[in-house]
Amino acid sequence: MRISTLTLGLVLLAACSKSPSSEPTTTPEPAGETPPPATDDGGGEERPGLTAAACEEQGGKVIGDIGDGAIHRPEYRCPDSGEAPIGSIVADPGGPMGVEGSVCCK
């Protein structure tokens, strides 16, 4: 009888330790790195999309993101002027687009 009780205990233990058969299908965001919307300027309005050429035509300068998403945050200010960016850089039709994104600063 003792062997049967031990066997039953081991079977129950093995059954309880199995992981669920279905794994989550989404990949969680890295801890502490939830990027805010790329076009919010802090006032709830979206930044207009500009090509790099249109930015420079307006007297602006293209500022690229260094990979931490800082330029996309509502509180981001341009390094030279201290003002909010005038727009988010969009790709030229048929042209390449930077992975990290860019903004137009005056």
Cα(47)–Cα(36) distance, integer angstroms: 13
Evaluate if pTM is beyond 0.85. Answer: no
Task: Give the integer Cα–Cα distance in Å for 43 and 62.
Answer: 22
The residues that bridge with 105 in the sheet, in sequence order, are 61
pLDDT of residue 13: 60
pLDDT of residue 51: 92
Instruction: Give which of 66, 39, 37, 42 is closest to 50, Cα–Cα.
Output: 39
List per-block mean pLDDT (blocks of 10 residues) for the chain, which spans 106 residues. Answer: 61 59 52 41 69 94 90 92 94 78 93
Q: What is the pLDDT of residue 62?
A: 94
62-68: list long-range contacts, CB under 8 Å, 24+ apart.
62/89, 62/102, 62/103, 62/104, 62/105, 63/102, 63/103, 63/104, 63/105, 64/98, 64/100, 64/101, 64/102, 65/98, 65/100, 65/101, 65/102, 65/103, 66/100, 67/100
Backbone Cα Rg of the chain: 26
Give residue limits of the domains in the chain.
49-106
The pLDDT value given to residue 36: 39
